[in-house]
Amino acid sequence: MYNKQILAVWGSPASGKTLTGVKLANMLSQKKKDVVLLFCDPFVPVIPVILPYLETGNRSLGNVLSSAEITQDRIFSNCLTLKKNSYLAFLGYHKGENVFTYPAYTKSAATDLLIQLRHIADYVIIDCTSHITADILSTVALEIADAVLRLGSCDLKGVSYFASQLPLLFERRFNPDRHIKILSNFRSSHPKAEIRECYGGTDFELPYVAELEEQYRTGRLLEVPATKEGRRFEDAMRAVLKEVFNE
């Protein structure tokens, strides 16, 4: 079996996709693995949310996808890195950009980008948008990723979302039956057992943690949690990494 390298994180709205992707990527980088964290969402740029104080300049995923030829140099010149962690790179849209900022790109361009990223990083984690039919890159990521985390919120809206969206992945190339299913962002008051049954069972559970929500709201997701609940969440993240990458 070949080594898994690309992980797509996908799921229902408000299920914690971005939080999960950031935490997993940061954990891998702490193991001194070169990681690229790719934010697909062209509707609400994620870079300003995760790294609100970082100067992005003109570096953007849009520059890469709209290129006549997608090269490693083009990708490198549009990645964002942090001085305190050289193993982790971010690629996404920056503040003020939207779906009309750049020319429309093709499925071929999305595929070329992911192929190039395989040669650049030890691991690639892709934060997919929930609107898979409106975002080519997210659709391609679900098709060619070595593993997919499917995050479902613990409510009927999440159940309704997958009832609507999973039929769009019926083609064999998407392998939806191989998705790793996670019940995410649930609270003690939520009907966990009933929702889990609606999802046909889940492989992992990631509870709501107030500390992590505060980190997300204040652009501090790369910080290590200080509370017991936060540390338990990261223990669950390590179990996911073990399952996906054997790390």
pLDDT-based confidence at residue 1 (cuts at 50, 70, 90): very low
Closest by CA to 106, choosing from 71, 66, 78, is: 66
Closest by CA to 106, choosing from 128, 142, 139, is: 139
Contact 107/140 with Cβ under 8 angstroms?
yes
Report how far apart the first and last C-alpha atoms of the chain are (Å, whole number). Answer: 16
* Mean pLDDT, rounded, for 66-75: 96
* Mean pLDDT, rounded, for 33-62: 95
- pLDDT, tens only, 83-94: 999 999 999 999
- At 172 the pLDDT is 86
Task: Tally the C-alpha atoms within 13 A of residue 140's C-alpha that lie toward its C-beta.
Answer: 16
* Mean pLDDT, rounded, for 125-130: 97
Question: At 206, which helix (H) or strand (E)?
Answer: strand 204-207
Contact 97/42 with Cβ under 8 angstroms?
yes
- pTM score, whole prediction: 0.96
Closest by CA to 148, choosing from 23, 1, 6, is: 6
Q: Longest C-alpha distance within the chain, in Å? A: 51
- pLDDT, tens only, 139-176: 999 999 999 999 999 999 999 999 999 999 998 889 99
Q: Give the three-state DSSP class for 183.
A: strand
- At 4 the pLDDT is 86
pLDDT at 219 > cutoff 50: yes
